[in-house]
Every structure is written in structure tokens, then in C-alpha cells.
């Protein structure tokens, strides 16, 4: 079975930055969603980027593992963090890149989200963050947004939402 990826929409942050990147009116014709993002924040350090589904940031739980080549940290969280935005204090023009996969987004079951994030800083320390998140809501996903926890997403931050359809 082959998978077909269709770009639903792409958003690129303009000058002045933005506190969020939104995708609305998501078509209900695919089986899965894939959010691909490249983010940079206006703060000095890396900034958390949380997910809102259908406008809600509630009912998220998750597990994560983070490693930077020297140490690892893992744990549970009750939040909706699926990404980071590289801060302005690191190498110029470095962005955090991430894939967040949401299977069965139209089903009446709770929604799972798996994220793979690489904080590339072109310095001595780079990091990887993997997370598994559950959104305990049975509604089909019709809108999605990434929201920065402090400051704004910097100009040229970008995100593309793909619809995925299984084909025979």
C-alpha cells in the first residue's frame, strides 16, 4: 500500500514575527496529517512550541525523551509541546526542524501525535527531542495551530500541513 502526501497549506512568518502559525478548515478527506515545521524564535534560548487542536490546548498528555549528545532526559508531561523554536542567541539563520504525525485525525477516538524534533544550532551542542502525545478528545481535527510560549516565531519560520491518504 502506497501513501500519497498532499500539501494542504504552507505558512511562512513575515517580518515582525507571529505568536502562532494556524491551519484552519482542514479537509476531512485524508486518513492522517503530517505537520512539517522549521522554526526560529525571537527569544534568546529555545522556546517551546505548543499545539492547539480545534482551538484547544487542554486534554494533552505525553512522554518525551531529549538528548544533546552529552546527556539525556525523559519524562511525562501534561502539556501539548510538540516542537521548539531555536532562539536568536544561537547561530544566525539556524532553525529547529520537526515532523509531527497525527494518524486517524477524523476518527471519533482520542488522537495520538508523534513528534521528531532536531534543534540544530551549528554550535558545539545540538539536540533531539522525541515525543508521544495523546489528545483526549473524540472530535475530528478541523483546525491546528502552533503557538510559541514566549516571544514570537521569527520571520521565515515556516510550517506545511500535509494530508496523507493510503492508496492501493
Q: Given a cut of 70, is residue 88 above it in pLDDT?
A: yes
Ordered by where they begin, the domains of the chain are 2-167 (2.60.120)
Statement: residue 86 has pLDDT above 80: no
Partner residues linked to 53 by β-bridges: 56, 144
pLDDT category of residue 79 using cuts at 50, 70 and 90: confident
Considering the entire predicted model, what is its pTM? 0.92
Amino acid at each position: 500500500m502506497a501513501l500519497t502526501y498532499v500539501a494542504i497549506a504552507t505558512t511562512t512568518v513575515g517580518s515582525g514575527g507571529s505568536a502562532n502559525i494556524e491551519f484552519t478548515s482542514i479537509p476531512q478527506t485524508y486518513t492522517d496529517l503530517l505537520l512539517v515545521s522549521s522554526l526560529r524564535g525571537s527569544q534568546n534560548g529555545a522556546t517551546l512550541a505548543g499545539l492547539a487542536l480545534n482551538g484547544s490546548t487542554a486534554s494533552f498528555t505525553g512522554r518525551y525523551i531529549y538528548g544533546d549528545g552529552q546527556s539525556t532526559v525523559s519524562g511525562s508531561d501534561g502539556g501539548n509541546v510538540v516542537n521548539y523554536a531555536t532562539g536568536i542567541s544561537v547561530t544566525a539563520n539556524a532553525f529547529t526542524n520537526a515532523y509531527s504525525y497525527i494518524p486517524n485525525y477524523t476518527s471519533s477516538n482520542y488522537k495520538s501525535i508523534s513528534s521528531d524534533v532536531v534543534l540544530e544550532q551549528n554550535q558545539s551542542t545540538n539536540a533531539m527531542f522525541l515525543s508521544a502525545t495523546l489528545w483526549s478528545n473524540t472530535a475530528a481535527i478541523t483546525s491546528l495551530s502552533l503557538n510559541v510560549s514566549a516571544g514570537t516565531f521569527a520571520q521565515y519560520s515556516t510550517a506545511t500541513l500535509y494530508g496523507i491518504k493510503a492508496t492501493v
